[in-house]
Homo-oligomer: A and B are copies of this chain.
Amino acid sequence: MLKTGVLISGRGSNLQSLIAACATPGFPAEIACVISNKADAGGLDHARKANIPAHVIPNRDYPTREAFESALDAKLEEHNVQLVCLAGFMRILTPWFVNRWRDRLINIHPSLLPAFPGLDTHQKAIDYGAKLAGCTVHFVRAEMDHGPIIMQAAVPVLNGDDEQTLAARVLQAEHKAYPQALRLIAENRVNVFEERTFITDATASGEALFNPEA
């Protein structure tokens, strides 16, 4: 069982999808701990309800980013975490932390990278007039929204979409893609070579969810 740590800052809807996946029989990963930098993050309750150790490490309590990240790192090591999943964690991580967890630290971004990196991705996609949106699970590098891609999933953009309706549709894709990516890693099927991933025994790591409501 791959011991996974999840970092959150808010409601943690992707955390919930990971908790649900790990609860299914035969899933090859378990969530060893959840850490939030915010004491009022809703995701902490989800973790506690699932009997997962939930910790608050408030970044404001630390004088520097490095000190904060050292505390994060110590807590992850305490739980023997092997892989870290960012799930709406709203702190930019320093190269020190990112390199320490290189190829053991993943993130989900709500666009089909390289399209629409950064914040406000859904509004950017709508303003651009994209007809497909989606999400990307990737290993984290020091450069934001950058790193070897494990999985991408697409959903349509509909005529009347606003930021909220599109975000909700993409979120359904996220909730499928993130657990699938975690499973691939836990099964030792994801190899990073020259900053690209190669997935063992898989034909495709791209997926479409065209009727996610169905």
Contacts and interface: CB of A to CB of B under 8 A. Distances in A.
A204 B210 contact: yes
Q: How large is the interface on A (under 10, 10 to 19, 20 to 34, 35 or more residues)?
A: 35 or more
Contacts of A115: 112-115
Contact of A132 (B152, B195, B199): B152
Contacts of A116: 114
A206 interface: yes
Given A114-B115, A156-B203, A159-B202, A129 B208 contact: no
Interface string A93-127: 00000000000000000001111100000000011
A84 interface: no
A149 interface: yes
Given A112-B115, A159-B198, A131 B204 contact: yes
A33 to B, nearest CB: 29
